[in-house]
Amino acid sequence: MTARLSVQELSVRFPLRGGRTVAAVTGVSFDLDPGECLALVGESGCGKSVLASALLGLLPGNARVGGAALLDGLDLLTAGEKELARRVRGRRIALIPQSPASHLTPVRTVRSQMEETVRELTGAGGPKLRGAAEAAAERAEFPADHLDRYPHQLSGGLAQRAATALALVGEAPLLIADEPTTGLDRDLVDRTADELRRHVDAGRGLLVITHDLAAAERIADRVAVMYAGRIVELTGAASFFGAPGPRHPYARGLLEALPERSFTPIPGMPPELDALPAGCAFAPRCDRATGDCAAVPALAGSRAGAVACHHAYSHAPETADA
Amino acid sequence: MPEPISGPTHEPLPEPIPGPTREPVPGPATGSALEMRGVTAGYDRRAPVLHGASLTVGDGEAVGLLGPSGCGKSTLARVAALLHRPRAGTVRLAGRMAYGFRHRAPRELRTTVGVVFQQPRLAADPRLTLADLIAEPLRATGRRAEAPGRLPALAASVGLGGDLLARRPHEVSDGQLQRACLARALVLRPRLLICDEMTAMLDASTTAALVAAVEEYRREHGTALLAVGHDRVLLERWCDRTVDFGALLPR
């Protein structure tokens, strides 16, 4: 039940009336192996959730998609809706949604939703169904005595577990979690992150989309930083959050903005995705920008660490301690 | 001065006197920005969310209120902002007793407190431009004429430049909309600003920028702050002191 996801040069455009185009995702490439967690971090509106929707085939009809997203050879971007609905969503890729309380159907109990999903995805039926649904809840540590409750009767943490339980029913080898910790308090964030991590350690691939850097640090093996629709840095989580730290000026600024660190915001605001500056989109906010930045820097480096910047911070040993 | 409401009661709270005499006797506008004593409040009379909570925010002071989700800290913030009527207890804003809540809150008191909520999308009328959104409190208090003079500087102080003010909520990001909501909370120059999980939806850089904007404004105007949240590191960095929600309740 393992699967390898390979995203190559994925781009998503939304043409608007009046000839403008929103460049939501531009030239995004990454690989995700079984048993690995990649955290996609960046400001709201940088294209993270559009990327997730593209992988699930859930983009609105006016989206123009380019590139490829191969899941064990199947291109998710060109696969038909029937294929996605019957073979992919829930079975090979599962979504753990943002704000689970609104993802669950409010007028039906958790048990009813769990049984429906189990019946649909595993074919279990009849007298076995009840037990199978309880076992599915058990796997996400959703307490069996809460199964007969409605979503509004659940706390944020339990609603999160119910949504996770539903996502796990189909034994999908690839999980996508879209802001799974937004609005939860710190203890719940830690617990949710640890629970997701268990599924990674069990051999699943996990793409977690988040703006919560603390949650990303707790869960991820690798970190991809997105800015204005592009991945600007893709590197190991240990070197990103620890020493020697991120190499891209934007990624540095994002980390330094944390209250644990210098608590200084990055000056300015992210660009509009329908009016991106020519060249590096971060240059107008960057204190290292020069004339070179008029050309878009390519994401260059190895799997161990890649950065898209003409003036990236160096990790050469002689300057690491400087 | 009306009697303070005391003790748990199942009687309806006394209604304020209707008509033009409803305006409160203006008490002294001195003392603590916020003083809550023994506040019991909730949404179901059998199970109050708050039970006898007391909290003081001194004039110009910044207090961080910490607690896990569901503990009642947002309810407390709503009572302090006169948006929710407590079942018992007293609330004083700038030393003046609040005896009307929600639509019955007297304007003199309501305008001494500004609130920023967690979710800007739910707190902003989607039909208004950001400029109209920020000016809404001025319009509601009959001071529309002040808007052109006030808005540009205020918008700039929260980091909203030029053409953003002409846009509507669906045309801006969460961070930009939250900046507008912050400006709206400050446009009447309140004595107390309440930020209820203002940055929970935002990324690290936008969080730091909004906190910096609040602090800049407070330095200039001496506004008191009640910041409600669950991020201990953030609130300790931001506020003069932090209190755990449990410490507000009687032992």
pLDDT tens digits along A125-171: 888 999 999 999 988 888 888 999 998 888 777 888 899 899 989 98
pLDDT band of A272, cuts 50, 70, 90: confident
Which residues of chain A have a Cβ shorter than 8 Å from any chain B Cβ? 42-45, 155-156, 182-188, 211, 213, 253-255, 257-260, 263-266, 269-270
Place of tokens 């294209």: A47
Q: Which of A263, A273, A286 to mutate to test the interface with B (most CBs of B within 10 A)?
A: A263
The pLDDT of residue B27 is above 70: no
The pLDDT of residue A192 is above 80: yes
Report the pLDDT averaged over residues A245-258: 94
Residues A122 and A243 in one domain: no
SS3 letters across A213-229: HHHHHHHCCEEEEEECC
Residues A258 and A304 in one domain: yes
CA dist., res. A161 & res. A179, Å (int)? 14
A258–B206 C-beta distance less than 8 A = no
CA dist., res. B230 & res. B248, Å (int)? 16
Contact list in A for residue B244 (CB cut-off 8 A) is: none
The pLDDT of residue B7 is above 70: no
A263–B237 C-beta distance less than 8 A = yes
The pLDDT of residue B28 is above 70: no
- Write the pLDDT tens digit of every residue in B34-55: 999 999 998 888 888 899 999 9
The pLDDT of residue A120 is above 80: yes
Residues A189 and A158 in one domain: no
Give how far B204 is from chain A: nearest CA, Å: 5
Which of B173, B232, B237 shows the shortest C-beta gap to A45?
A: B173
Q: What total of structural domains would you count in chain B?
A: 1
* End-to-end CA, chain A: 47
A254–B204 C-beta distance less than 8 A = yes
In a domain, B19, yes or no: no
The whole-number pLDDT of residue A319 equals: 43
Among A171, A206, A227, identify where a domain stops.
A171
Residues A80 and A10 in one domain: yes
**A39: containing domain:** 5-92+173-320
Residues A165 and A286 in one domain: no
B203–A254 C-beta distance less than 8 A = yes
CA dist., res. B197 & res. B118, Å (int)? 5
Q: Which of A14, A40, A44, A272 to mutate to test the interface with B (most CBs of B within 10 A)?
A: A44
Among A126, A149, A171, identify where a domain stops.
A171
Helices B174-186 and B147-157: crossing angle in degrees, nearest 10, is 130
Which of B174, B175, B205 shows the shortest C-beta gap to A257?
A: B205
In a domain, B11, yes or no: no
Averaged pLDDT of chain B: 87
The pLDDT of residue A112 is above 90: yes
Residues A20 and A113 in one domain: no
Which tops the pLDDT comparison, B187 or B24? B187
Cα–Cα distances in Å, from A8 out to A29, A46, A58, A112, B162?
A: 4, 18, 18, 39, 38
The whole-number pLDDT of residue B30 equals: 60
Which tops the pLDDT comparison, B224 or B107? B224
Cα–Cα distances in Å, from A67 out to A30, A72, A77, B142?
A: 12, 16, 8, 56
Answer whether B210's CB lies under 8 Å from B202's CB: yes
Report the pLDDT averaged over residues A261-284: 91
pLDDT band of B70, cuts 50, 70, 90: confident
Helices A156-168 and A186-201: crossing angle in degrees, nearest 10, is 10
Comparing alpha-carbon positions, the chain B residue that sits nearest to A211 is B203
Comparing alpha-carbon positions, the chain B residue that sits nearest to A254 is B205
In a domain, B184, yes or no: yes
Give how far B112 is from chain A: nearest CA, Å: 28
Which tops the pLDDT comparison, A135 or B5? A135
- Write the pLDDT tens digit of every residue in B166-219: 999 998 888 899 999 999 999 999 999 999 999 988 889 999 999 999 999 999
Among A171, A202, A223, identify where a domain stops.
A171
SS3 letters across chain A: CCCCEEEEEEEEEEECHHHCEEEEEEEEEEEECCCCEEEEECCCCCCHHHHHHHHHCCCCCCCEEEEEEEECCEECCCCCHHHHHHHHECCCEEEECCCHHHHCCCCCCHHHHHHHHHHHHHCCCCCHHHHHHHHHHHHCCCCHHHCCCCHHHCCHHHHHHHHHHHHHCCCCCEEEEECCCCCCCHHHHHHHHHHHHHHHHCCCEEEEEECCHHHHHHHCCEEEEEECCEEEEEEEHHHHHCCCCCCCHHHHHHHHCCCCCCCCCCCCCCCCCCCCCCCCCCHHHCCCCCHHHHCCCCCEEECCEEECCCCCCCCCHHHHCC
- Write the pLDDT tens digit of every residue in A25-49: 999 999 999 999 999 998 877 888 8
Which of A45, A259, A265 shows the shortest C-beta gap to B209?
A: A265
Residues A72 and A163 in one domain: no
The pLDDT of residue B13 is above 50: no
The whole-number pLDDT of residue A1 equals: 57
Cα maximum dimension of chain A: 70
Q: What CATH code is carried by the domain that includes residue B37?
A: 3.40.50.300
Give how far A101 is from chain B: nearest CA, Å: 14
The pLDDT of residue A190 is above 70: yes
The pLDDT of residue A316 is above 90: no
**B71: containing domain:** 32-248
Residues A105 and A83 in one domain: no
Q: What total of structural domains would you count in chain A?
A: 2
Sheet containing A205-210, strands listed edge to edge, beginning at the edge strand earlier in sequence: A93-96, A174-178, A205-210, A37-41, A222-227, A230-236, A305-307, A300-302
Q: What is the separation of C-alpha A275 from the centre of its chain, rounded to a whole number of angstroms?
A: 25
Cα–Cα distances in Å, from A174 out to A136, A165, A211, A213, A220?
A: 17, 14, 21, 22, 15
Q: Residues near A301 by Cβ (< 8 Å), separated by ≥ 6?
A: A234, A307
- Write the pLDDT tens digit of every residue in A88-110: 999 999 999 877 767 899 999 99
Residues A107 and A160 in one domain: yes
Give how far A52 is from chain B: nearest CA, Å: 18
- Rg of chain B in Å (alpha carbons): 18
The whole-number pLDDT of residue B11 equals: 46
The pLDDT of residue B14 is above 70: no
Q: Which of B176, B203, B207 to mutate to test the interface with A (most CBs of A within 10 A)?
A: B203
pLDDT band of B1, cuts 50, 70, 90: very low
Q: What CATH code is carried by the domain that includes residue A281?
A: 3.40.50.300
- State the complex-level ipTM: 0.81
